[in-house]
């Protein structure tokens, strides 16, 4: 079991994430890639003293960026 402080990396602060938070009481975090839903639930409950109803996860690829004469993922 991982340390709850290492599971949650940082909150996602975008316009869409803020709208979800205010309207649906749904919050978005960037988490450790190896963490499962149970570990994420426990980390949020321990760090913020709340009861988590459900956890949804998604794995996103990085955006393709141009670096001078080549391309890569960021």
Distance CA 30, CA 70 (A): 28
- At 21-73, the pLDDT tens digits run 888 889 999 999 999 999 999 999 999 999 999 999 999 888 877 777 766 66
Distance CA 20, CA 3 (A): 27
Name the pTM for this structure. Answer: 0.79
């Amino acid at each position: 079991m991982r340390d709850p402080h290492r599971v949650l990396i940082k909150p996602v602060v975008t316009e869409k994430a803020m709208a979800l938070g205010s309207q649906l009481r749904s919050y978005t975090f960037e988490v450790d890639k190896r963490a499962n839903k149970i570990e994420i639930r426990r980390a949020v409950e321990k760090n913020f003293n709340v009861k988590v109803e459900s956890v949804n996860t998604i794995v996103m690829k990085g955006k393709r960026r141009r670096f001078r004469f080549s391309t890569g993922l960021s």
